[in-house]
Amino acid sequence: MINNFNFLQAKNIKHAVDVLAREERVCPVVGGTNVLVNMKRGPLPVDTILDLSGLSALRSITTDDGIISLGAGVNVAELLEWSKANSVAAELFSPMCSEFAGPLIRNLATVGGNICDASPASDLAPPLLALDASVVLASKAREIRKIKLADFFQGVRLTDRLPDELMTHIEFQQPNDERFYYYKLGKRKADAISIVSVAISIKYDKEKVKRARIALGASAPIPFRSKSAEEVLFEKAMDPQIVDSAAAAAVADSNPIDDHRASAEYRRRMIEVLIKRGLTKIADERVNSR
């Protein structure tokens, strides 16, 4: 009933995976913005808190051979600064990070925490899905494991992470010539939980869409990519009809919740509106840039 647990500070990644392998009921914590909310609501079902916040190895962002890797311990404020400074997918990361919670939480909340918490309304997930990112997991017992983010999410607050695994980073191919769109619909201007969020990445081959990635948050039990919408766009010119069909396909793929924040009906309508807007904006930019 009472919050009683050991508190261990990870000294390095090896120590962290050792603890995860050795101890029962270990809960990693970095920013604590999920864990401490849970603790306020009731005792945590854990024996050991494993603090990763001191692990500098988890806090770097690197680019190596066209692969960008975001450390699991990078917080949202740092991600925002980095994306601004390096203009990597800034059209996704800048608006997402600056609308993520408020400035206080952004100084704590980490990439790894957000992904491992696997909230349906995770704001980090849609941009990372649109970048086709992979989660990288380390453990004592096995090799480094890489899994596509799209497969990592298993259900509401459920992931493919095994209890002995540590998420070390998330990686994606450096974007090259993609066009992006991001929009978060919340109930107020700052510190709002997403009603729906949309991240789109489009790669053209001449006039046609070579590759589309359409990712949605707060639109189903997990953040996901709408394969049907992506298929509709594949090898098509983005004319208004195609845009409409893609938006409709995304709605069909979605399965949003009906709750006090918004009705499922509104969320569905907004998925349609926002995807149309995003695709239209990308198509218009394409026309204008020629």
Partner 1 sequence: MSKEPLEFTLNGQKESISILPRTRLIDVLRNELGLTGTKEGCGTGDCGSCTVLLDNQPVNSCMMFGLQARGRHVTSIEGLSQNGELHPIQQAMMDHGGIQCGFCTPGMVLSLKSLLHEKSTPNEDEIREAISSNLCRCTGYKKIIEAALSVAKTSSLSSVTKEDNNIIGSSMVRGDAEEKVTGGSVYAQDVSFPNMIFGVLLRSEHPHAKILSIDTSDAELIPGVKAIVCGREVDMGLYGYELRDHQIFALDKVRYIGEPIAAVAATSLDIAYEASAKIKVTYDPLPAVFDPEDAIKTEAPLVHDDANAYELDWETERSGNLCYKLNLSDGDIEEGFSQADFIVEGSYETPVAHAGAIEPHCSTARVDSTGRATIWTTTQKPFVFRSYLASALKRPLNKFKIVPTHIGGGFGGKLFPSLEPYAVLLAEKARLPVQMVLTREEEMACALLRHPSKVKLKTGVKSDGTLVAQSARMIFNTGAYGFYGPNTAALASLMVTGPYRIPNLDVTGLVVYTNTVPNGSIRAPGAPQLAFAVEAQLEKVARTIGMDSLEFRLKNAWDEGDVTCLGQKLESVSIKECLTKAADAINWNEKREPGVGKGLACLWWVSGQWGTQTLIESNEDGSFRLINGCVDMGTGGLSSSVIQMAADGLEVRPELIQLVRGDTDNLPWDHGHGGSRTVFTIGESAYDAAINLKQQILKEGADFFGLPLDQVYISEERLCVRGDPSQSVSLSKICFDRHKKHGGPMVGVSSSLPQPPPTTKDHPIGGFSAASFCAHAVELSADRDTGEVVVKRYAAAHDVGRAINPAGCEGQIEGGVAMGLGLALMEELVEQKGKIVNPTFADYLLLTAEDMPEIETILVEKPSKEGHFGVKGVGEPPIAPPTGAVANALMSAFDIDVTSLPLSSEEIARLIRERHHDQ
The footprint of ligand FAD (CB under 6 A) covers 27-35, 37, 52, 72, 100-101, 105, 108-110, 112-114, 116-117, 122-124, 161, 166-167, 191
Comparing CB distances to partner 1, the nearer of 36 and 252 is 36
- Chain mean position to CA 259: 22
- Which partner in partner 1, ligand FAD, none is near 4 (CB below 5 to 8 A by kind)? partner 1
Comparing CB distances to ligand FAD, the nearer of 128 and 212 is 128
Q: DSSP letters along 158-208, please? A: EES--TT-EEEEEEEEPP-S-EEEEEEE-SSSSS---SEEEEEEEEEETTE
Task: Report d(CA 213, CA 203) in Å as an integer.
Answer: 9
- Which partner in ligand FAD, partner 1, none is near 126 (CB below 5 to 8 A by kind)? none
Comparing CB distances to ligand FAD, the nearer of 33 and 201 is 33
Give least dist CB 7 to partner 1, A.
4
Give least dist CB 48 to partner 1, A.
9
- Which partner in partner 1, ligand FAD, none is near 123 (CB below 5 to 8 A by kind)? ligand FAD
Where does this chain bind partner 1 (CB under 8 A)? Answer: 1-7, 9, 29, 31-33, 36-37, 39-40, 43, 49, 51, 53-54, 77, 98, 101-105, 107-108, 185, 187-193, 195, 259-263, 266, 269-270, 273-274
Residue with tokens 């918490």: 117
The pairing of strands 67-71 and 166-173 is antiparallel
First to last CA, the chain: 65
Residue type, 119: S
Task: Report d(CA 79, CA 287) in Å as an integer.
Answer: 31
Give least dist CB 81 to partner 1, A.
11
**How long, in residues, is the chain?**
290
- Which partner in partner 1, ligand FAD, none is near 110 (CB below 5 to 8 A by kind)? ligand FAD
Burial of 85 (0-12, 13-18, 19+ CB in 10 A): exposed
- Which partner in ligand FAD, partner 1, none is near 185 (CB below 5 to 8 A by kind)? partner 1
Burial of 44 (0-12, 13-18, 19+ CB in 10 A): middle
- Which partner in partner 1, ligand FAD, none is near 254 (CB below 5 to 8 A by kind)? none
Comparing CB distances to partner 1, the nearer of 195 and 233 is 195
